[in-house]
Amino acid sequence: MSLSKKTIRDIDVRGKKCLVRCDFNVPLDGAMITDETRIQGALPTLKHLLDNGASLILCSHLGRPKGQRVAEMSLAPVAERLSELLGLNVPLLSDCVGPEVSGTCSTLQPGQVVLLENLRFHKEETDNDAAFAASLASVADVFVNDAFGTAHRAHASTEGVAHHLPAVAGFLIEKEITFLGNAVANPGRPFTAILGGAKVKDKITVIDSLLPKVDHLIIGGGMAYTFFKAKGWEIGKSLLDESSIDYCRSLMSLHGDKIVLPVDVMSSPDLSPISKPVAVPASEIPADKEGADIGPEARVQFDKVIQDSGTILWNGPMGVFEMEPFAGGTRAMAESMAKTAGMAIIGGGDTAAAVQQMGFADDMAHVSTGGGASLEFLEGKELPGIAALLDA
């Protein structure tokens, strides 16, 4: 997959209708948007297109309605918020294809914006149905993909429409390709990857892709306990990925010099918001307890590696950060990343959510908007939504 793609800077959009695939899959509490990061992330692209004389037909999915019309998953709250942020009326159309859509879009003037209703109200969207993609594309002159979070899916609105229209990247996708691509292809040294999260098997392809490139691979979160088990240590009731024990053992024998495991963990008899975890050496987890976070010494140990690194890429929390008693390790990592002089990159998903929630997002060089997409990108897989765009 060529990472050098045409962007909205490379085309003349004056007087053109641009179909823009955004990622407006925002968390809602009723009709209230609880985190508008993704909407804010789309604004630079939308403003650039409007400033250059385009009219915009915006499309996105929200949630998983599985091809059904689900009132709670309407994009109405997004249309309302976009109207406020852009300072112009952004009407929500009642569908994303059909006569109302083609009728309204045919009369769009430069500077006007409409938002199509949730793409996934049609199962043809996730099926990448050719006729549905053609119908989506029929109302526009140019296709702009700015939804990195869905770029790893070959859907009608990410891959299918690119067969019908000149297709270019928006600023968000450009930024993702630049930061994640450079981190892996041309990192400042030492290059450190930090992987957390629950199971080793979910990250095997990432580990295999990153290990030859990194100088240090820090392992935290639930994954660490399978490595401990592979060393023959007692892990008590800690999370274990039985199927990956041999893999961890061979990894440590081949790359032991690169792998950094936590020296201590926070152990607890149970996982609850009122737990009182205790720090224990990683090799001495009591049989009736489970590890649920990295310990205070591990936080210092990891911080030292981070501060000495030129590029740091982090994907996966250090513990059960959703519960305050086990959030300390993830918070300590976020603080380390925020103060490092190196290039600090957050690889989307839960890690991005944690960093946002804890107030450190603005201190990072880049916080990826894609969970699965950033992982697949780091695995070296081709992302269909990016591969479909015109090469620069």
Query: Mind telling me the catalytic residues?
Result: 38, 199, 349, 372
Q: How many beta carbons lie within 10 A of that of residue 215, not counting itself?
A: 17
- In a 13 Å sphere around the CA of 7, the CA atoms on its Cβ side amount to 17
- In a 13 Å sphere around the CA of 38, the CA atoms on its Cβ side amount to 27
Q: How many beta carbons lie within 10 A of that of residue 29, not counting itself?
A: 8
